[in-house]
Amino acid sequence: MRGKKQPRLPRRLSRSQKRLILLLVVALLVIYRLWSWPRPSEPESLAEGEHIVTKVVDGDTFTVFPGVQVRLIGVNAPELLPEKGHSEPWAQEATDFLTDQFRSSSWRVRLQFDAVRKDRYRRFLAYGFVGDRFLNAELVRLGLAQYEPQYNYSATVKNVLRRAQEEAQRNRRGIWSAGKTRP
């Protein structure tokens, strides 16, 4: 049997090596489980009624608890563009108005929905109220947002928003004033 090497038998693992392997296997299982765990997703529904506002994004969008974005139906406020280093004219005023309204109500808003519940960005579309103030219409009436008739929502609300915009234009408020103009 000279010249032929005997196959080497595997060496027995020490107790500490066994523990290390067990620890690695457990760690890999935990990492796999966390990686494959369902990610928290946005809720498919949001109830009508009172909600707590957690963040104002801009003049027509805000977040309510638990992190759900809401866009006011039928209005378009100028955009805040901090990533570009500037904002559209009247964007800060529209954002400040919405912030002040929520602050005055202890950050509470009452939401009502129409037939279309979400936009293409998966934000909930709603009519917002602070007390008796209809925020969608107030933004337009103050010239801090434009009325958006092309979307699918209540004809009655469209008339309210159209009249609010006519009033803002007639009185040259906000975006309709001679000073800052919106493109």
- Closest residue by Cα to residue 62 from 130, 140, 161: 130
Distance CA 4, CA 1 (A): 6
- Active site residue: 2, 42, 44, 71, which one? 71
Cα dihedral sign, 141-145-146-148: negative
Active site residue 123: yes
Q: What is the CB neighbour count within 10 angstroms for residue 160?
A: 19
Instruction: Say which residues have a Cβ less than 8 Å from residue 118's Cβ, sequence separation at least 6.
Output: 124, 125
Secondary structure element (H or E) that encloses residue 31, with its range = helix 15-36
- Active site residue: 93, 123, 141, 148, which one? 123
- Active site residue: 2, 15, 33, 79, which one? 79
Secondary structure element (H or E) that encloses residue 98, with its range = helix 91-104
Active site residue 79: yes
Active site residue 108: no
**Catalytically annotated residues:** 71, 79, 123
